[in-house]
């Protein structure tokens, strides 16, 4: 038995309400970055 079942149920209810508000306002989901821009900064030894 999990001890934090009530806490997780409250958290899931809050998450569902937040998702419902986002869907009601028509906000798009946050776009996931395709790749982290690691090649933007060259290492010092390549200069």
- Over residues 9-34, the pLDDT tens digits come to 999 999 999 888 877 877 666 677 66
DSSP secondary structure code for residue 2 in this structure? -
Examine residue 22 and state whether it is found in any structural domain, yes or no. yes
> Looking up tokens 């306002």, which residue turns up?
25
Examine residue 10 and state whether it is found in any structural domain, yes or no. yes
Residue 22's CB is within 10 A of a number of other CB atoms, namely 13
Task: Note the pLDDT of residue 17.
Answer: 92
Examine residue 9 and state whether it is found in any structural domain, yes or no. yes
Examine residue 11 and state whether it is found in any structural domain, yes or no. yes
- List, as one string, the DSSP characters of 28-47: PPPPPPSS---TTSPPGGG-
Task: Note the pLDDT of residue 26.
Answer: 73
Q: What digits encode the pLDDT tens for the residues 32-44?
A: 766 665 556 666 6
What's the domain range around 13? 1-26
Residue 1's pLDDT band, with cuts at 50, 70 and 90, is low
Examine residue 40 and state whether it is found in any structural domain, yes or no. no
Task: Note the pLDDT of residue 46.
Answer: 61
Task: Note the pLDDT of residue 14.
Answer: 93
The number of distinct structural domains making up the chain is 1
């Amino acid at each position: 038995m999990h001890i934090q079942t009530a806490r997780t149920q409250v958290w899931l209810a809050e998450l569902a309400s937040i998702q419902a508000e986002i869907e009601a306002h028509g906000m798009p989901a946050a776009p996931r970055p395709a790749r982290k821009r690691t090649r933007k900064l060259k290492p010092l030894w390549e200069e």
